[in-house]
Structure 1
Amino acid sequence: MHRRAFVTTVAGIWLGCLGISSCSSAPSATTSATNMAGADEAVDLTISVAASVQDAMKAVQIAYEAEAPQVSITYNFGSSGSLAQQITQGAPADVFLSASQKWMDDLEAQEQLLEGSRRDLLLNSLVLIVPQGKDDVTGFRDITTDKVGRLSIGEPASVPAGRYAREVLISINMFDVLQPKLVFGKDVRQVLAYVETGNVDAGVVYATDATVADRVRVVATAPADSHSPIVYSIGVVADSAHAEAAQALVEFLVSDTATAIFEEYGFTPVN
Structure 2
Amino acid sequence: MKTRQIIIFICALVATLLLARSIKFFDRSTVVAQANTNLLVSAAASLKESLEQAGHIYRQNKANVTLNYNFGASGALQQQIENGAPADIFISAATKQMDALQEKGTILTDTRRNLLTNSLVLIVPKNYSGIADFRDLTGSKVKKIAMGEPRSVPAGQYAEQVFKNLGILSQVRPKFVLGNNVRQVLAAVESGNADAGVVYSTDARTSQQVKVVATAAENLHSAIVYPVAVLKSSKNMAAAREYIQFLLSDRAKTLFKKYGFGIAR
TM-score class normalised by the smaller sequence: 0.7 to 0.9
Higher mean displacement: 93-102 or 39-48 = 39-48
Q: Give the alignment partner of residue 192 of structure 2, picking from 181, 187, 198.
A: 198
Please state whether the residue corresponding to 2:169 is helix, strand or coil: coil
CA contact 1:118–1:236 (8 Å) conserved in 2: yes
Alignment-derived partner of residue 235 in structure 1:
229
Unaligned runs of 5+ in 2: 1-29
| Structure 1 consecutive aligned stretches of length 4 or more whose deviation exceeds 4 Å | 36-40
Q: Which residue of 1 aligns with 2:167?
A: 173
* Root mean square deviation, CA, Å: 1.4
The amino acid across from 1:103 in the alignment is Q
For residue 253 of structure 1, the aligned residue among 241, 247, 250 is 247
Q: State the TM-score, normalized to the length of structure 2.
A: 0.87
Q: In the alignment, residue 87 of structure 2 is paired with which amino acid?
A: A
Over residues 147-177 of structure 1, what are the superposed CA-to-partner deviations in whole Å (9 max), with x where a residue is unaligned? Answer: 2110011000000000000000000011111
Mapped pair 1:268 → 2:257: no
Residue type at the aligned position of 2:55: Q
- Alpha-carbon deviation of 1:221? 0.4
| CA contact 2:135–2:168 (8 Å) conserved in 1 | no
* Counterpart residue number, 1:31: none
1:132 — aligned with what? Answer: 126
Check the 8 A contact 1:128/1:140 in 2, yes or no: yes
Question: Mapping of 1:64-213 within 5 angstroms?
Answer: 64-213=58-207
- Name the structure 2 match of 1:52: 46
Kindly state the Cα deviation for residue 115 of structure 1 after the two structures are TM-superposed: 2.9
C-alpha distance in structure 2 between counterparts of 1:120 and 1:168, whole Å: 23
Q: TM-score, normalised by structure 1?
A: 0.85
Q: Is the 8 A contact 1:137 1:147 kept in 2?
A: no
**C-alpha deviation, 1:112, in angstroms:** 0.3
The change in CA–CA distance for 1:242 and 1:87 in structure 2 (over 3 A counts) is same
Indicate which of 212, 216, 219 corresponds to 2:213: 219
Which amino acid is the alignment partner of residue 234 of structure 2? S
Tell me which structure has the larger Cα radius of gyration: 2
Q: Which amino acid aligns with 1:42?
A: N
Q: Paired residue for 1:13?
A: none
Identify, as 1 or 2, the structure richer in helix. Answer: 2
> Which amino acid counterpart does residue 134 of structure 1 have in structure 2?
Y
